[in-house]
Amino acid sequence: MSGVTLFAMTATPAPSLRVGNASGFYGDRLSAAHEMLTEGPVDVLTGDYLAELTMAILGRDQLADPSRGYARTFLKQMRECLAIIMERRVRVVTNAGGLNPRGLADKLTELADSLGFEPRIACVTGDDLLDRAEEFNLGTPLTANAYLGAFGIARCLDAGADIVVTGRVTDASLAVGPAVSHFGWTRDDLDALAGATAAGHVIECGTQATGGNYALTGELAGRSLDHPGFPIAEISADGSSVITKHTGSGGAVTVGTVTAQLVYEIAGARYPGPDVTTRLDTVRLTQEGDDRVRISGVTGEDPPPDLKVGLTGISGFRNEVEFLLTGLDARAKADLAERQLRAALARNRPGDLSFEFTPAPDPHGDTQDAATARLRVVARDHDPSVIGRRFGAAAVELALGSYAGFHITAPPRDARPDGVTVTHALVPSTEVEHTVITPDGDLESVPPPERTRELTEVPEPPLPEPLPEGPTRSAPIGLVLGARSGDKGADANVGVWAASDEGWRWLAHTLTVDALREILPETADLRITRHLLPSLRAANFWIEGLLAPGTARREGLDPQAKGLGEWLRARRVRIPESLLPQTAPSETPLPEEGP
């Protein structure tokens, strides 16, 4: 290393920076980068590939081949797009480097050489703490990566990089880093950093900001959602921004779609990051025109002293089989299959063997599918041989000696890695070696912030005036409120918002923690914290342990809580009739009133 290089930047007037994001996860629309580059102008093209689960996927890739560990789809996109990028002088910032940013940078250099281009490529590293896991008491994870900030990216761009490849940085940093470089912000420009962080948080998940996964679809009537365009943040020198998309692309950008993304996967009003803590309760949204929403008024505070470290691990191996049980006596048939399978596995019993019975919709149904129940058997063990062919053979061998009408959905496969565990730890930012490799190959250290502030919860703000009393009826919550939910390790969040001031007044007084426990019985025994965001007419509920033991390891249909918000919206409560939509003959009528 050539030593620590400190850098200071002085804020100067500059035109707004147009940052377009072309990926929200590893596996997103492959054509998005080309669409973003050809459907309209952008100054910076970003790509976010690193969801929490992705780190474990990349970790397993590296176990098989140490030269891997990065998002390989990024190379496919660059093969198609590098000529346009170089011709139009668009700068690219991506966390596709994953666990191996240097490896991806080397592959990108090889690709550029083969195409006859010489882009200046830089890297951000230092996030990988796997070799220091014992030092930081992190256990024995598969991956351990600190969430770095934006100033390493900015340094790479200041050094003339055309393409910046990072490991684990916060998703919003992909947009904040270019803004820091473009406007010359320093760590003292907290409000500007916070405003850009809010913009980065909105566009980081791609088309979720332009109508994708949007709950209140009636608001977007007449807009094509078949192929939504990817979002753009036009960031100004003061950190305010306009969220938009290319003219003519599908989808929509509204106050609602932006609100939905702002409340996605957050904990509270303070949104902590490595460079700034963003006060989400200060965000102001204004619809400035078609597909143009301004974000303004965002306040920033000093960041916390610690960096979040994402830890993933493989919790053994799993296999499964599903028995189909048709017609009469399905429960007795399931009991027989369970006894037989347990007996067959007695000598090589898996560490965990679970049986889940699902009754038939109608045992006397008009179709065989409707008359068929299911018995799902999941086997887990740390030794894949125990639940591999032995488990599969034991299930298949029951075929001619078990219950009447025996059949299974498919023969069991070989054992495969179980769902990963995702947890988090904190490490002092002063202990993490945030490093950049410039396009010229120099190594430079990015110093941590000098001022930090411990993270505390924001007290609940005063409630708005309640709605006057009036007639109510039982109806689904989703007729009045939007929602979006997601996962953070073993915890989940569900953000809920109202489209009107009256709806907000009802939400704030009605949807309390106690009410949520009653509406969603699965949360009844869990710790729940409510955070109100009046300027967004929103409330966020942080539900601890809902996804325990963690993300994809959780049993059930929704291990990442993506549908939790829609379950909430489908639940019926007493709602003031003044808030409910007026049903016209051509519209879908309200569900019948319940008890």
Same domain flag for 256 and 371: no
Q: Is residue 458 part of a domain?
A: no
SS3 246: coil
Same domain flag for 354 and 436: no
The answer to whether 436 touches 335, Cβ cutoff 8 Å, is: no
Same domain flag for 402 and 376: yes
Helix H, strand E, coil C: the string for 266-291 is: CCCCEECCCCCEEEHHHCEEEEEECC
- The CATH number covering residue 333 comes to 3.30.70.360
Same domain flag for 121 and 255: yes
Whether the pLDDT of residue 584 is over 50: the answer is: no
Question: What letter represents residue 64's amino acid?
Answer: A
Question: Which residue reads 């949807």 in tokens?
Answer: 511
Same domain flag for 200 and 270: yes
Lowest mean pLDDT among 34-38, 105-109, 484-488, 538-542: 484-488
In the chain, the percentage of residues whose pLDDT exceeds 90 is 84
Whether the pLDDT of residue 2 is over 60: the answer is: no
The answer to whether 439 touches 155, Cβ cutoff 8 Å, is: no
Q: Is residue 242 part of a domain?
A: yes
In this structure, what DSSP letter does residue 152 have?
A: H
- The whole-number pLDDT of residue 12 equals 46
> Residue range 5-29: average pLDDT?
76
Residues 6 or more apart whose Cβ sits within 8 Å of residue 319: 378, 379, 387, 388, 391, 392, 412, 413, 414, 415, 416
Q: What is the pLDDT of residues 262-281, one digit of tens each?
A: 999 999 999 999 999 999 99
Whether the pLDDT of residue 594 is over 70: the answer is: no
Lowest mean pLDDT among 156-165, 259-268, 434-443, 582-591: 582-591
Orientation of helix 173-183 relative to helix 151-158, angle to 10°: 50
Helix H, strand E, coil C: the string for 83-119 is: HHHHHHCCEEEECCCCCCHHHHHHHHHHHHHHHCCCC
Q: Is residue 326 part of a domain?
A: yes
* Structure tokens belonging to residue 88: 């139009």
> Residue range 410-423: average pLDDT?
79
**Number of domains the chain contains:** 3
Q: Is residue 175 part of a domain?
A: yes
Core vs surface per residue 317-351: b (16+ CB within 10 A) or e? bbbbbbbbbbbeebeebbebbbebbeebbeeeebe
Same domain flag for 482 and 343: no
- The whole-number pLDDT of residue 212 equals 96
- Single residue among 445, 480, 514 that ends a domain in this structure: 445
* First CA to last CA distance, the chain: 71
Q: Is residue 8 part of a domain?
A: no
Domain that holds residue 164: 17-134+145-210+222-284+291-305+431-445
Helix H, strand E, coil C: the string for 400-423 is: CCCCCCCEECCCCCCCEECCEEEE
Residues 6 or more apart whose Cβ sits within 8 Å of residue 335: none
Q: What is the pLDDT of residues 157-210, one digit of tens each?
A: 999 999 999 999 999 999 999 999 999 999 999 999 999 999 999 999 999 999
Beta bridge partners of 312: 143, 422
Same domain flag for 254 and 341: no
- Burial class, 73, CB count within 10 angstroms (exposed 0-12 / middle 13-18 / buried 19+): middle
Q: Is residue 426 part of a domain?
A: no
> Residue range 309-329: average pLDDT?
91
- Single residue among 383, 410, 445 that ends a domain in this structure: 445
Q: How far apart are CA 561 and CA 130, in angstroms?
A: 28
* Count of residues making up the chain: 595
Whether the pLDDT of residue 552 is over 80: the answer is: no
Whether the pLDDT of residue 110 is over 70: the answer is: yes
Q: What is the mean pLDDT of the chain?
A: 92
In this structure, what DSSP letter does residue 148 have?
A: B
- The whole-number pLDDT of residue 389 equals 82
Beta bridge partners of 354: 378
- The whole-number pLDDT of residue 420 equals 74
Same domain flag for 382 and 503: no
Core vs surface per residue 258-296: b (16+ CB within 10 A) or e? bbbbbbbbbbbbbbbbbbbbbbbbbbebeeeeebbbbbb
- The whole-number pLDDT of residue 560 equals 86
- The whole-number pLDDT of residue 571 equals 96
Same domain flag for 390 and 437: no
Same domain flag for 437 and 526: no
Q: How far is CA 557 from CA 279, 355, 529, 560, 562, in A?
A: 34, 15, 24, 9, 10
Same domain flag for 115 and 254: yes
Q: Is residue 311 part of a domain?
A: no
Q: What is the pLDDT of residues 214-244, one digit of tens each?
A: 999 999 999 999 999 999 999 999 999 999 9
- The whole-number pLDDT of residue 3 equals 37
Global pTM value: 0.88
Same domain flag for 366 and 231: no
Q: How far apart are CA 410 and CA 320, in angstroms?
A: 10
Q: Is residue 139 part of a domain?
A: no
List the alpha helices (DSSP H) in 539-593.
564-570
- Burial class, 213, CB count within 10 angstroms (exposed 0-12 / middle 13-18 / buried 19+): middle
Q: Please provide residue 279's backbone torsions phi and psi, each rounded to the nearest 5 degrees.
A: -85, 100
